[in-house]
Amino acid sequence: MTPRGEEVFRLEGVRKRYGGREVLRIDQLSIFAGEIFGLVGPSGAGKSTLLRLLNFLEPPTAGCILYRGQPLDGRVPPQLLRGITTVFQRPLLLSGSVAYNIAFGLRLRGERNPGPKVEQMLRRVGLSELARAAIHTLSGGEAQRVALARALVLEPDVLLLDEPTANLDPYHVSLIESIVCQENRERGTSVVWVTHNVFQARRVAHRVGLLIGGELVEVSETHRFFERPEDPRAAAFVRGEMAY
């Protein structure tokens, strides 16, 4: 069943151009509180661009993005921004210890004693023993768990995931999926999960959107997306017949 809370994001007539090339063209899209929205599509479809817009890391070239009903064109209040965070495909950790990395966002928010929250988060992602380990000694899966912990410790309202499991082994893929789904269930965190992997989208998402050439060709409930896709391109994508 799809949780359908209030609208967290509403995109209206959003366009993004780099140079003269339009990479994103979304007429209308809503993301709701408490849902996991799976965003699938071939490489270069504009999935990562859309996430950057949702995290207000870049402004749209045209159109409007409303966050909790507020249009956020131009200057974005930092307090609002801090409710949204992204975990990227690469962990992008800072040199230092695991604990230092997880505490980073808390310190930015003026938290004087991030220790207890960091410890709790380390337990949650199963890295308690590596708290003091230097990040260059971690495996790819451990590093990505640290990146996820660094985001979750901020207790975000919106978690944006840009293919965070693309380079990981099946154990870590399943571990990260279960941590994110638990976060979504227990805290009602809204998640936009970009993935190449249609099976992953099917496992974790409440709704799925297919982005091709910068356009959303199908957005529907997960079971419907996979069982009765309306757009022929979505049907081809689900059947694995789309070459990309």
Partner 1 sequence: MLGKEKPSGVSLSEETSFFALWSGGTPKKGALDMGSFAQAVHRLLAGDPELWEIVLLSLRVSAEALLIGGLFGVPLGAFLGLKRFFGRRLVIALLYTGMGLPPVVVGLLVYLLLSRSGPLGFLGWLFTPRAMVFAQTLICLPVIVGFTMAAVLGVDPALRQQLRALGATAWQSTWAVVREARTGIVVALVAGFGSIISEVGAVMLVGGNIQGSTRVLTTAIVLETRQGRFDTALALGLVLLLLAFAINGFVLVLQGRSVER
C-alpha 40/C-alpha 226 separation (Å) is 12
CA dist., res. 52 & res. 58, Å (int): 6
**Amino acid, res. 216:** L
Nearer to partner 1, 74 or 240 (CB): 74
For position 43 contacting partner 1 by CB under 8 A, the verdict is no
Nearest alpha-carbon partner for 31 in 67, 75, 82: 67
Residue 81 interacting with partner 1 (CB under 8 A)? yes
Other C-beta atoms lying within 10 Å of the C-beta of residue 108? 11
Compute the distance between CA of residue 147 and CA of residue 137 in angstroms, rounded to an integer.
15
Give the shortest CB-212-to-partner 1 separation in angstroms: 24
> Using the rule CB under 8 A, is 82 a contact of partner 1?
yes
Q: Does position 92 bind partner 1 by CB under 8 A?
A: yes
State the virtual CA torsion across 65, 70, 74, 79 in degrees, nearest 10: -110
Q: Residues 161-180: x/- map of binding to partner 1 (CB under 8 A)?
A: --------------------
53 binds partner 1 (CB under 8 A): no
Q: What span, in angstroms and rounded, lies between the C-alpha atoms of 145 and 143?
A: 5
Q: Tell me if 18 contacts partner 1 by CB under 8 A.
A: no
Position 95 contacts partner 1 (CB under 8 A): yes
Site for partner 1 in 132-161 (CB under 8 A): 136, 150-151, 154, 160
Q: Which of 16, 40, 27 is nearest to 201 (CA)?
A: 40
Size of the site for partner 1 (CB under 8 A): 23
Choose one: 79-87, 120-128, 165-173, 196-204; the region binding partner 1 (CB under 8 A).
Answer: 79-87
How far is the C-alpha of 68 from the C-alpha of 7, rounded, in Å? 6
Binding region for partner 1 (CB under 8 A): 52, 55, 57, 78, 81-82, 84-86, 88, 90, 92, 94-95, 104-105, 108-109, 136, 150-151, 154, 160
